[in-house]
Amino acid sequence: MQWWCSAQGQPWDWTWQPYVGVWLFVALIAAGYVALRRRYPPTEPDNGDGRRGAAYFVTGLLLLWAALDWPLGALGASYLASAHVTQFLLAGIIAPGLMLLGIPRGAFGVIERRPTLHAFLADLTHPVPAFLIFNVGMTVTHWPGVVDAAMATQAGAFTLDMAWVLCGVIFWWPLLAPIPARPGFHPLLKIGYLAFNGILIRPPFAMMLFSEYPIYATYELAPPFPGTSPLHDQQLAGAIMKVVTAWIMGVAAFMIFREWRRADSLLEEGSAARERPV
């Protein structure tokens, strides 16, 4: 029995496999979240920190679980590059964003009370380093030599998955976390940050799309998966990555724009009310 999904030499079949390490990892996050909610209950029931926040977090955690466990985890670790990038989109982009949105705002106060941690996060999650870390991380964790080496062992596959989650959290932090406060990070800059990430084609994804031959030995030399070839699967993986990443960034940019317009409208209404003669 495996504790984490890694490459198998066996032909694929649809027999369910347990991955205890994945369950433990998901259970630990869930327990941590419950503890956090108890310690930092929402100040107002409907301030976005309450039920909606919990819904974001639970959805993110369920998507993370789906990405890491059978069948997607097993398919992505061993058989299909397209399943591997789908895992990445869930575990490395969508889930971290949703989970970060669901953390009670009060919990971020802990960071303010610890100057060293605050300074560390201020540096690490500044938009420029965050952009670089996410993109370098995304490139490195999809580089053929790294993927082939990592997928061969459970520890390697685990490290790769954790790197995805960590890079995803760093990517979303300057957009979604209230601390460290970044008043200079104007909504238009946020939209630019997302748009640039949406249109950028990282080297491994260009290789997936345009390479003449399969680039990952893991999937090229895996027992064949019915209905596809390693090259077609790889091209599909590149297309999924490009289209879905652009779509996610587009949705996030739209939400930031909407939030910005709403805040502006409220500000204008407030100013108008103050200027109105009594």
Q: Which of 32, 41, 192, 223 binds other proteins (CB under 8 A)?
A: 223
Binding region for other proteins (CB under 8 A) out of 15-23, 101-109, 112-120, 184-192: 112-120
Alpha helix stretches (DSSP H) within the chain: 20-39, 51-68, 72-78, 81-88, 95-102, 109-112, 115-124, 127-140, 144-151, 154-176, 187-199, 203-210, 217-220, 230-275
State the minimum distance, in angstroms, from the CB of residue 157 to other proteins: 14
Q: Which of 119, 188, 263, 267 binds other proteins (CB under 8 A)?
A: 119
Taken as a whole, the chain contains a residue count of 278
Q: How many CA atoms lie within 13 A of 277 on its CB side?
A: 0
Q: Which of 15, 38, 45, 213 binds other proteins (CB under 8 A)?
A: 213
- Reference 94, options 116, 62, 118, 121; nearest CA is 62
DSSP annotation string for 94-138? IHHHHHHHHS-GGGGHHHHT-HHHHHHHHHHTSHHHHHHHHHHHH
Q: Which of 24, 27, 136, 199 binds other proteins (CB under 8 A)?
A: 136
Q: Note whether 146 binds other proteins by CB under 8 A.
A: yes
Question: How many whole angstroms separate alpha carbon 87 and alpha carbon 94?
Answer: 10
Binding region for other proteins (CB under 8 A) out of 61-69, 95-103, 171-179, 227-235: 227-235
Question: How many whole angstroms separate alpha carbon 70 and alpha carbon 75?
Answer: 8
Q: Note whether 110 binds other proteins by CB under 8 A.
A: no
Mask: binding to other proteins, 155-194, rule CB under 8 A, as x and -?
Answer: --------x-------------------------------
Q: Note whether 9 binds other proteins by CB under 8 A.
A: yes
Footprint on this chain of other proteins (rule: CB under 8 A): 9-11, 116, 119-120, 123-124, 129, 133, 136-137, 140-141, 143-146, 149, 163, 212-214, 217, 220-224, 229-231
